[in-house]
Structure 1
Amino acid sequence: MTLHDYLRVARGRWKIVLFGLLAGMVTAAACTWSMPRQYSAGITIYISEQSGVNGISGPYQANPLPEQKVRSYTTLLAGTRVARDVANQLKLGKPADEIAGEISASGQPGTMLLTATVTDRSPLLAKEIADATGDAFTRLVAQLETPAANLPAAVSARVVEPAALPVDPVSPVPAMNFGLGVLLGLAAGYALALLRHALDTTVKSADELQTLTGAPNLGTIAHDADVPKHPLTVQEHSRSPRAEEFRKIRTNLQFIDVDRSRKAIVVTSAVPEEGKTTTLCNLAIVLARAGQRVVVVETDLRRPRAADCLGLEGAIGLTSVLSGRVTLDDALQSWGAALLDVLASGPIPPNPSELLASGQMANVLTELGRRYDMVLLDAPPLLPVTDAAIIGAACDGALLVVRHGRTTRNQLKAATSALDAVSARLLGTVLSMTPESTSNPYYEYYSALEETDPDLEGTAPIARIATGPRREPKRNGKSNGLLSGRLPVDALDAL
């Protein structure tokens, strides 16, 4: 992985990194609050060597104490022998090993000074142990350095700086604990983010989608939390970046199989809840606004949603036509002032797959293909049922909608295999519900444009479609005549 990849992981999994940071801070706070307060008291001991033939004593100044002696005195100062004498002197009732664990000793290089530091939960006890340690050590040095009876000791030790009563605790240190908690939390959070990234098999980029399917990616649709309430984005927010993405899909779709002027395309997905129905409805609107004759066919006979998305009645529709109860002309509904037509699902049948594979269904598709430039069929997901594959084999191709961060690579491969099994052509893919990016050039352009020209906000003026007027498909055997060619579209749709 490159540095850019690591940064992308941190940006994409920022919630995990933030969770690790917060966990580290909470842990540091809990440890700081629960740790017992420790107080330190220290003493300074001066070592002097006796000299002179007459027994006159004085400090040894020619050279400092040899390193071996310094290490020996340091070991003795923090050893169990001195700790045992301290325990007996203060009558602490603690074992010598425990007291020795509270004493630390060191020698100052180039000097004849030793320091002993005692750390304990009680500031008073720390001071008492430190003073007792100095007394016990000086006695031990005098005993060890006396060459013989009635002779002065060769080396003497004196406490030159007794212990002071500590006021502030030396442990815990909140600043250090919080700093360590932040660093460890960030490291743990990022490590968890890397692990999650390594284990994540979902599709998150258009390039990866194109590599896995071998089909071109026609566009990416950003996630919009308002879609469940207002699914027809291009109708209500015609200048949003999301609406512009549907126009890009429309343009790319028109360049696929340019020799065929009329197309029947099934819009499906690998698994449910990937946004195929809203994608189909918005795509149908932008195609119709470009002057094409469009019909939406609700072939999802298990959980139909297209009619509800468009605000139409679905009680009479495709199954009504297939069963012979009504004619195709009677089942078709006009939407948006005859902008496009819709063939709803009708009553949900017990045998959807058999109906969709019937000869009557083939006749309906043939008739719709004769009347319309674009027939868009909303089909169920490919993996749970075979309906979409059956319809795909009878159409000019399939458009596969893949949800960002949800559809896995295995599910995507299984979906494309289901289409290949029936020789259905995968025309392209749409990556839906991608994280919204304010760096979108279209978003930046129109945000700046609306700030300078408020008149551009709201509904665009009526514009004449460049392709000129078109005829409305016959209903009940009669033609309703020419449409005016003037539709409520925004300026971009007029191009």
Structure 2
Amino acid sequence: MKNDGKDMLDLKSMVALLLSKLWIIILAAVLGGTAAFCVSKFLMPLKYASHISMYIQSYTTFNENPDQNFNNINNSKQLINTYMEVMKDDAVMNAVAEELRGSFENDVLEQNFSVVNGRITPASLRSCISISSVTDTSALKLSAVTKNPEVSAAICNDIAKVAPDYLHDAVGVGQINTIGTAEVYNSPVAPNVKKNTMLGLMAAAMLAACIIVVIDFFDNTVKDAGRLGESYKKAIIGEIQQFDESKKRKKDVDDNHVKLTDKNVPFAVVESYKSIRTNITFALSTSEKKIFTVSSANPSEGKSTTSANIAIALAQGGNKVLLIDGDLRKSCQHKIFGIKNKKGLSTAISKMAALDECISKDVMEDLDIMTAGPIPPNPSELLASSNMENILDQLSERYSVIIIDTPPVNVVTDAMELANKVSGIIMVARYAKTTTDDIDNAMKKIEFAKMNMLGFILNDIKTGRSGKYYSKYRYDKGYGYGVKYEEDSDEDKTETPEKSEKKTEEKNQSKKKKGGK
């Protein structure tokens, strides 16, 4: 059964994941940067700053003694922190507020501060100022930022005006001096559009990356064949990449069946089915019955298409193959191969028609097909009947391999009814759709029925530049096998007697020329 717990994403897997979703991260970054730019440019109010420098002295005068002057500077530094706290006190703020009320109209003040009962609150005024000490000096730098450049300058000048009296009363030591006055600067200091845009861009990109990682961590769909095999201690019969045609479908795999012999089937898919053919041959090598079923946990996971292509691949390998459509409820093998479904498995089991009449012979070279036939009222009972077992015994003498396409395991019990009549079952899982919970439920039913589990086939694997399976399925171009395969197959399909005679004549002429020389 499945191993408990989910492995943490390692660094390599996380990088591969983020690269595969790079377009989402880039899109999120662009949207985040655009939003930050628009908010900064059009919604955030402009703010203006002004400043003034203040110098602390512990004594009123300096003298010619250098040591005494040095001590004065040290004492001034020690007073700085005390002065900074005093200057932010409510008493100082209220005094500055009164000065501002005498200089500006109420409308201007209300745009910049919180005004209650006609008075500027100390907290709103304090939030507009910042006081910092200049490193290794006894100087203070007072800055004010508001929506009005004149108000910012007035705050600095008013604090410089009222602060000395409060500092003298509170501390009683030293004095504070200013040089010049705060000026009005009409260039806004905020918002910083460039900085905000970059922050918005980076924040959106990081948020998108985090969301992608979190979603992937809690995603329990099957995306790794190796982990699937290790979790359930079962073999991986094969991995099939997404067909080019299947990318165009809108609903599910069963709505767009693609046979191995159709045109433009990727070379990697052809090679995958050849590998599956080899693995199935080994899996059945120790079994007396060369009969196996193909199923899936849920509908629309590609088990019918996979069954058909496995049958084609085995027939191309020189085996006499019979494909039985055992899905008596929702048959589709007759649609895949374009044959009639008036007689089939249901009529054969119920003895409404002779066995040979229910088999479509030579649908392809070395491949016969028994369709499902008319839908019966009791599919499970028919598959579990002794007539079904007798039919399989008779057919096993005529065919080297028999494949039965059965309904999904988690939907009905039809596949389980064949447990003692076949050598085993192959489960098809669809990439990024089949969940581990689905497979858990299917495996419990398979084990309960004591059915031999041959292995998994991971179907419909999506490939991409940063995807896990990209490098695995690109060897056709790297070594030129894909081109050669397509050319050979095209020649075989278009070969005519006239072309064959022409080729023979060209070869004979070439031999004569070589002999003449």
TM-score range, shorter chain: 0.7 to 0.9
**Aligned mates of 2:174, 2:410 — CA distance in 1:** 91
Q: Letter of the 1:38 partner, please give it.
A: K
Is it true that 1:443 corresponds to 2:474 in the alignment? yes
Distance 1:112 1:440, change over 3 A: closer
Deviation at 1:414, TM superposition (A): 2.5
Q: Output the TM-score relative to the length of structure 2.
A: 0.77
Residue 50 of structure 1 pairs with residue 60 of structure 2: yes
Contact persistence 2:243–2:265 (CA under 8 A): no
Give the Cα–Cα distance (whole angstroms) in 2 for the partners of residues 12 and 300 of structure 1.
37
Query: Is 1:217 matched up with 2:244?
Result: no
User: 2 CA distance for matches of 1:390 and 1:463?
Assistant: 45
Aligned to 2:12: 4
Greater mean deviation of Cα atoms: 310-319 or 111-120: 310-319
Which sits farther off after the overlay, 134-143 or 216-225?
134-143
1:186-241 Cα distance to aligned partner (Å, 9 max, x none): 44444434433443333322222223333211111112351354511443235521
Shift of 1:174: 3.2
Asked if structure 2 preserves the Cα contact closer than 8 Å seen for 1:262 and 1:372, the reply is: no
Equivalent in the alignment of 1:326 = 353
**8 Å CA contact 1:51, 1:60 repeated in 2:** no
Residue 425 of structure 1 aligns with an amino acid whose one-letter code is: N
Instruction: Give structure 1 stretches of 5+ with no counterpart.
Output: 54-58, 148-153, 465-495
1:394 deviation in Å?
A: 1.3
Is 1:361 aligned to residue 361 of structure 2?
no
Contact kept, 8 Å, 2:96 with 2:155, in 1: the verdict is: yes
Q: Distance in 1 between matches of 2:226 and 2:443?
A: 16
DSSP-derived class of the 1:371 partner: coil
Q: In 1, Cα distance between the equivalents of 2:357 and 2:471?
A: 44
Find the partner of 2:403 among 376, 390, 414.
Answer: 376
Question: Which deviates the most, 362-371 or 249-258?
Answer: 362-371
The yes-or-no answer on 1:201 pairing with 2:220 is yes
CA RMSD of aligned residues (A): 3.4
Distance 1:61 1:236, change over 3 A: same
* 1:117 matched residue in structure 2: 143
**Structure 1 partner of 2:84:** 74
Question: Partner amino acid for 2:77?
Answer: E
Equivalent residues of 1:239, 1:446 under 8 A apart: no
* Closer/same/farther in 2, CA of residues 235 and 291 from structure 1, 3 Å limit: farther
Q: How many residues align?
A: 452
Distance 1:164 1:260, change over 3 A: same
Aligned-partner residue type, residue 156 of structure 2: A
- Find out whether 1:410 has 2:401 as its counterpart: no
| Aligned ranges 1:328-477 → 2 under 5 Å | 328-334=355-361, 336-436=363-463, 439-440=470-471, 443-446=474-477, 449=480, 456=487, 459-461=490-492
Query: What is the alpha-carbon distance in structure 2 between the residues aligned to residue 253 and residue 120 of structure 1?
Result: 78
Q: Which amino acid aligns with 2:157?
A: D
Deviation, 1:267, is 0.5
Counterpart in 2 of 1:164? 183
Secondary structure at the residue paired with 1:68? helix
Measure, in 2, the Cα distance between the counterparts of 1:166 and 1:336.
89
Partner amino acid, structure 1, of 2:95: D
Distance 1:448 1:257, change over 3 A: closer
Counterpart CA distance in 2 for 1:143 and 1:460 is: 106
Cα distance in 1, alignment partners of residues 379 and 257 from structure 2: 29
TM-score by length of 1: 0.80
Bigger share in helix:
2
| Gap change, CA 1:286 and 1:463, over 3 Å in 2 | farther
In the other structure, the counterpart of 1:278 is 305
Alpha-carbon distance change, 437 to 372 in structure 1, aligned in 2, over 3 angstroms:
farther
Distance 1:9 1:88, change over 3 A: same
* Cα contact 1:295–1:341 (8 A) shared by 2: yes
Amino acid at match of 1:133: I
Cα distance in 2 for residues equivalent to 1:176 and 1:302: 63
What CA distance in whole angstroms lies between the structure 2 residues aligned with 1:419 and 1:279? 20
List runs of 5+ in structure 2 lacking aligned partners.
1-7, 102-108, 110-118, 250-255, 496-517
